[in-house]
Structure formats: C-alpha cells, structure tokens
C-alpha cells in the first residue's frame, strides 16, 4: 500500500467509549499520531509482543485526504477527502495507561491495519457505521452519528495546526466495546457502505 506522510488519530470521539474508560468527553478533538511504519493491509498479521501486555482492537472509520489541506473550513471539508476506509487502531492498553501519552502504545509495527479505500463519490455519508468482529462475533457496533465531533469538524480542527497531504489518513475514533486480542484470533473492522479490513493475530516470535 502507498504510505501516507502521517496517520492522524482522534481519541475519545464516541461518548460511550469515553465513559467505558471513565474519561470525560473532550471539549475539542483529542489528536495523536500513529507512524506510517505501523501500517498493514487486510490479510496481513497483527503481531503481538508478549512484553507489551494486553493488546486491544479499536475499529474506526478512516478518511484519506485527496489534496493538500490547510485551514480548511468545516463546510468545505469533504472537498479534501479522497475516500473512506476501515481502520483498526490496535493499542497496547497497559502501555497506554502507564505512559500517559500514546505514541508507544499505538505505534508498534502492524498496529494500524487499513482496508481498501472506497472513493467518496460511492459512499453514503449519512449511513456510515463501524462494526468490529473477533472470530466472527460482534464486539463493537455504532453509527457515525454517535461521534462527538463529525468528520468535517475533525478535518477543520486538524488543519488549523497541521497541513494534511494527499494520502494522509485520519482515524476518526472508536465506539464502545473495545477489548483484548489473543494469538489465533481474526479481527475484522467493517465500515458500512465502505468496506472492511480483516487480520489474523499472531504472537511475536
């Protein structure tokens, strides 16, 4: 897959997910980054380092930027989107809690599975949803209308302080229901009307 210059992620962007971790709803989008080296495609393995503790799935709606974006007003935000995809923001949960900032916990190699991008013109933006399944069982399911900050608001916010380049990705936050993965699992994130990303989980050798 082509590598973006950056993967911009949004934390605590579904109210129920914030509540399940005992966090308040952010007053503005909570932004962090995953490195491009964390990317894998559908079918490629998520590798679990044993020393990192609990490894969780986080299914998300992904946005790929189509043209250089800086100081984008919310009402024009969709003009800068190339397409949408499914993203799994895999997280080493114990490291996330212990570090207090999230780069290490979310930045491991293989910790950002991304599915094929569906062009925006083929997407019903009013019917977006995210569903995560582990071994075929639904673990997360939510409509995008439960987001605290919608996709145009996220693009407007991020481009106030960071220029987005063509191919850059935004992971828009995960709904409630996150949980642990184990070696041997298969985890699938599906974005309704867009597509999915499915990956086996293996222990690091």
pLDDT in tens, 133-181: 999 999 999 999 999 999 999 999 999 999 999 999 999 999 999 999 9
Q: What is the mean pLDDT of the chain?
A: 95
CA atoms within 13 A on the CB side of 174: 23
> Could you confirm whether domain 7-203 is CATH 3.40.50.720?
no
Q: Where are the domains of the chain?
A: 7-203
Q: Is the pLDDT reported for residue 20 higher than 90? A: no
Q: Using alpha carbons, list the distances in angstroms from residue 14 to 40, 168, 178.
A: 25, 22, 12
What gap in Å lies between CA 84 and CA 66, rounded to an integer? 11
Q: Is the pLDDT reported for residue 17 higher than 80? A: no
Q: Is the pLDDT reported for residue 83 higher than 80? A: yes
Do 17 and 174 meet the contact criterion of CB atoms below 8 Å apart? yes
Instruction: Name which of 194, 171, 192 is nearest 57 in CA terms.
Output: 171
Instruction: Report pTM.
Output: 0.95
Q: Is the pLDDT reported for residue 19 higher than 80? A: no
């Amino acid at each position: 897959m082509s590598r973006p210059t950056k993967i911009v992620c949004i934390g605590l962007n579904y109210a129920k997910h914030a509540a399940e971790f005992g966090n308040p709803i952010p007053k503005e989008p909570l932004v962090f980054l995953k490195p491009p080296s964390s990317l894998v495609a559908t079918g490629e393995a998520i590798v679990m380092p044993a020393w990192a503790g609990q490894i969780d799935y986080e299914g998300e709606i992904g946005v790929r930027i189509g043209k250089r974006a800086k100081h984008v007003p919310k009402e024009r935000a969709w003009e800068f989107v190339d397409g949408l995809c499914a993203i799994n923001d895999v997280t080493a949960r114990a490291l996330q809690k212990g570090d207090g900032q999230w780069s290490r916990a979310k930045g491991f190699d293989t910790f950002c599975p991304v599915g094929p991008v569906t062009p925006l013109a083929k997407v019903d933006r009013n019917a977006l949803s995210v569903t995560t399944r582990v071994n075929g069982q639904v673990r997360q399911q939510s409509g995008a209308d439960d987001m605290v900050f919608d996709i145009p608001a996220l693009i407007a916010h991020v481009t106030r302080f960071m220029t987005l380049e063509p191919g850059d990705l935004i992971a828009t936050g995960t709904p409630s229901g996150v949980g642990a993965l184990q070696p041997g699992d298969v985890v699938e994130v599906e974005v309704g009307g867009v597509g999915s990303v499915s990956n086996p989980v293996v222990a690091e050798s």
